[in-house]
Amino acid sequence: MAGPRKKRFADVPPGAENPLQFALSQRDKSTVDMVAEAIKHKQVLLAFQPVMQSRAPDKVAFYEGLIRVLDSTGRVIPASDFMETIENTELGRQLDTLALGLGLRALNDNPGLRLSVNMSARSIGYRQWNRTLDRWLTRNTMIAERLILEITESSAMLVPELVVDFMDRLQIEGISFAMDDFGAGYTALRYFKDFYFDILKIDGQFVQGIASDPDNQALTAALVSIARHFDMLTVAEFVENKEDAETLIHLGVDCLQGYYFAAASTRPHWLRGIEKQKAI
């Protein structure tokens, strides 16, 4: 006689939450709670990663400001650990606003800095985000020409007409725009020619290991060709070794970003200089 049958996830009654779903929901709740607490107590900061010029790999073209939060123990948590969970929520809009404010303050305090800041297309109509931008641009009119706003390809395609109008209004102010993760989504070409992004950031899936991957070399060359046709600067993300960097330069990519050059730092050289002066 067979023993008692073990209950499988498939045996859970319809409408009930199986153990895996419960674990995932608890993880997401924990993530949301962590981000909410960080925002409440202003435990949010930017990590700055340099984007290097291909023609002069020792020179910085601009920096990207990447949002970070601090958990209850003071650990710095990268966006990859929480952004997917909160991106479509009010917390996502609040983080976009805080990231913009931190970036604009850095630009105001460092006249030689050129900086990109990430945002979701969902924040275009968010009142506090727009107020933050307007307040800083009124305070310092020289900020706009050194600010780059990065919008992911997938986010831009949610509301393409809204993104086009938004870019048209702010590019007049001197602000530049970068399409992040280009090639990862499914950009409709009928919209793409209307976007007028200034920069295309080629998704890391095409970049990592490109030196030994003829297929990715061909795809990246095609992306570079598209960018050139529309007079856009190209940036390759996730460049992690010399061979990949050299291949990307050969393919005509304008700028390179990744661990091969530098990791993102919450204490960039301009902040370390200020800390040193205070210590003296």
Determine the pLDDT at residue 27.
61
- Give the span between the Cα atoms of 49 and 44, in whole angstroms: 17
Determine the pLDDT at residue 279.
43
CA torsion through residues 183, 186, 190, 194, sign: negative
pLDDT > 80? residue 10: no
- Give the span between the Cα atoms of 197 and 151, in whole angstroms: 10
Determine the pLDDT at residue 115.
98
What is the maximum alpha-carbon separation in the chain? 83
Query: Cα angle at 107 between 105 and 113, to 5 degrees?
Result: 150
Domains along the sequence of the chain with CATH: 33-279 (3.20.20.450)
Please answer whether residues 69 and 43 qualify as being in contact, where contact means their C-beta atoms are separated by less than 8 angstroms.
yes
* Tokens of residue 115, six digits: 């900086």
Determine the pLDDT at residue 19.
60
Placement of tokens 């307007």 in the chain: 134
Determine the pLDDT at residue 14.
52
**CA 203 and chain centroid, separation:** 11
pTM, entire model: 0.87
The residue-averaged pLDDT of 109-133 equals 96
Contact partners, residue 226, CB within 8 Å, separation at least 6: 200
Model confidence band, residue 184 (pLDDT cutoffs 50, 70, 90) = confident
Query: Cα angle at 180 between 177 and 207, to 5 degrees?
Result: 135
CA torsion through residues 99, 193, 190, 210, sign: negative
DSSP state of 120: -
Determine the pLDDT at residue 15.
53
pLDDT tens per residue, range 188-240: 566 777 888 999 999 999 999 999 999 999 999 999 998 999 999 999 999 99
Model confidence band, residue 157 (pLDDT cutoffs 50, 70, 90) = confident
Query: Cα angle at 261 between 75 and 206, to 5 degrees?
Result: 95
pLDDT tens per residue, range 76-108: 999 989 888 888 899 999 999 999 999 999 999
